[in-house]
C-alpha cells in the first residue's frame, strides 16, 4: 500500500503507556500512527497532517483535550476530522457529555481496551471514507449539472442583449419584457455559479491561489468600485484602514468576492441618507475587516440563519433586490478556507456589523 493511501491515526495523550498501546495496536502496513504528548503538539500535527482519526485524551496538563477539541472544530482545515475522546473511568458523565457536545463523535474509557479501540477506530475511518466519496460524487454531479444549465442560460442572455441593442424600434412593453429577461437570466447565472462554488467548497475541491497581498489596499479598491452605487442612494461610504498593516497570504480574488458580497448586502439594506463604514484593523496575529451599516438590523432569532444554505432573513425576503441565499454561506467557507472566521452582530433598528478575521502569515 502506498504512503498516500495510509490510514493516519493521531493519538494525543500525555501518558506514554496509552500511546504505546495505540502504536502497537495499529502497527500494520496500512496504518500510520502519529503521537503527541501534549495538546499544543497534537493540534499542530492535526493541522499539518490532517489525520483520518484523532484519539484525544481529555485530561492533560497545559492545553487540555477540551481546548484542543474546541480549536479543532473552529479550524476549517480540521473540523471534519473525527475525534474519539479518551477518558478515565472516574471522569464525570458531565465531562464526557461536554466532549461530545464540543464535537467528538465517540468516547473510549481507560484503561484502554485494545479490541474496543480497534473496532471504534475502524468504524470511524470507514464512515469518513464513505462521507468523502459521497461529497466527491455530489460535487461531480453538481459540476455537470451546472455546466449543462450555464450554457443555455448564457445563450438566452446573449440573445436578449442583442435584441435590446438592436436599432429596430421597440415598444415600452417590449423593452420592459427584455429587461426582465436579462435580469432573470443574470440572476440565474449568478445562482448557478454560487451553487458550483458551494459544491466545491463543501467537497474541499476549491483551491486558493495564495499570494502576499496588501489587504488594506484591496479593501480600499473594492470600496472605491462601489462608491457610485452608494452615491446613487445618497449613502455615505467611508473607509478606515489602519496604518502599517502587515501583508497576508491570501487569494485576492476570493477575498474580493467576500467583501463585494458584504458591501453589496450593506448597500442593499441601508436606506437612503444612511451610512456604511469599512474598517480594517490589525490585531496580534490577525487582520480584522468589518462592514458596518445603518440598516434595519436583524432580529435575534434570525441571526443563526445568516450563514446557512438558502436561508434569508425576513429583511432579505422583503427586499426589492432578491438574493440567492448562498452569498453569506460562500463567504463563511472562503474565510474558513483562509484559516479565519466570520460572524455578524446586529440590533434591530440600529444596523448590522459583519466582521471577518484572517491570520497574518501562511495558511497550510
Q: Where are the domains of the chain?
A: 3-112, 133-202, 211-359
User: What topology is assigned to 211-359 in CATH?
Assistant: Heat Shock Protein 90 (3.30.565)
CATH code for the structural domain at 133-202: 1.10.287
| Residue 296 CB contacts under 8 Å (≥ 6 apart), including other chains | 269, 271, 315, 348, 349, 351
The whole-angstrom separation of Cα 289 and Cα 241 is 9
Q: Consecutive sets of 10 residues in the chain, 364 residues long: mean pLDDT of each?
A: 69 91 87 92 89 90 88 79 80 75 83 82 83 71 70 78 78 82 78 72 73 89 90 92 89 90 91 93 90 92 78 55 69 87 90 92 53
User: What topology is assigned to 3-112 in CATH?
Assistant: Rossmann fold (3.40.50)
pLDDT (0 to 100) of residue 3 = 42
3-state secondary structure of 5: helix
| Residue 346 CB contacts under 8 Å (≥ 6 apart), including other chains | 297, 298, 303, 352, 353
pLDDT (0 to 100) of residue 178 = 83
pTM: 0.57
Q: Which residue has the cell 501518558?
A: 15
pLDDT (0 to 100) of residue 1 = 38
Question: What element of type H or E holds 31?
Answer: strand 31-36
pLDDT (0 to 100) of residue 287 = 92
Amino acid at each position: 500500500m502506498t504512503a498516500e493511501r495510509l490510514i493516519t491515526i493521531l493519538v494525543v495523550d500525555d501518558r506514554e503507556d496509552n500511546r504505546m498501546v495505540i502504536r502497537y495496536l495499529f502497527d500494520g502496513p496500512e496504518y500510520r500512527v502519529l503521537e503527541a504528548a501534549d495538546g499544543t503538539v497534537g493540534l499542530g500535527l492535526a493541522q499539518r497532517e490532517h489525520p483520518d482519526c484523532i484519539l484525544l485524551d481529555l485530561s492533560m496538563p497545559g492545553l487540555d483535550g477540551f481546548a484542543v477539541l474546541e480549536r479543532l472544530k473552529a479550524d476549517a482545515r480540521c473540523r471534519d476530522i473525527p475525534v474519539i475522546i479518551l477518558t478515565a473511568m472516574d471522569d464525570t458523565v458531565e465531562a464526557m457529555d461536554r466532549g461530545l457536545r464540543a464535537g467528538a463523535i465517540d468516547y473510549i474509557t481507560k484503561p484502554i481496551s485494545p479490541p474496543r479501540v480497534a473496532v471504534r477506530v475502524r468504524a470511524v475511518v470507514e464512515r469518513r471514507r464513505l462521507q468523502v466519496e459521497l461529497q466527491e460524487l455530489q460535487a461531480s454531479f453538481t459540476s455537470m449539472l451546472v455546466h449543462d444549465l450555464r450554457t443555455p442560460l448564457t445563450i438566452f442572455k446573449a440573445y436578449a442583449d442583442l435584441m435590446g441593442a438592436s436599432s429596430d424600434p421597440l415598444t415600452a412593453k417590449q423593452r420592459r419584457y427584455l429587461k426582465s429577461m436579462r435580469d432573470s437570466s443574470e440572476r440565474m447565472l449568478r445562482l448557478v455559479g454560487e451553487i458550483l462554488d458551494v459544491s466545491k467548497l463543501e467537497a474541499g475541491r476549491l483551491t486558493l491561489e495564495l499570494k502576499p497581498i496588501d489587504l488594506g489596499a484591496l479593501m480600499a479598491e473594492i470600496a472605491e468600485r462601489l462608491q457610485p452605487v452608494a452615491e446613487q442612494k445618497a449613502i455615505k461610504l467611508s473607509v478606515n484602514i489602519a496604518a502599517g498593516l502587515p501583508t497576508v497570504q491570501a487569494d485576492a480574488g476570493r477575498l474580493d468576492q467576500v467583501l463585494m458580497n458584504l458591501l453589496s448586502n450593506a448597500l442593499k439594506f441601508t436606506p437612503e441618507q444612511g451610512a456604511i463604514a469599512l474598517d480594517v484593523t490589525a490585531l496580534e496575529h490577525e487582520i480584522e475587516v468589518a462592514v458596518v451599516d445603518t440598516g434595519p438590523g436583524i432580529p435575534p432569532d434570525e441571526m443563526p440563519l445568516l450563514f446557512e444554505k438558502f436561508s434569508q432573513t425576513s429583511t432579505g425576503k422583503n427586499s426589492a433586490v432578491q438574493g440567492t441565499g448562498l452569498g453569506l454561506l460562500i463567504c463563511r467557507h472562503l474565510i474558513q478556507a483562509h484559516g479565519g472566521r466570520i460572524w455578524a452582530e446586529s440590533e434591530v433598528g440600529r444596523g448590522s456589523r459583519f466582521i471577518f478575521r484572517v491570520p497574518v502569515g501562511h495558511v497550510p
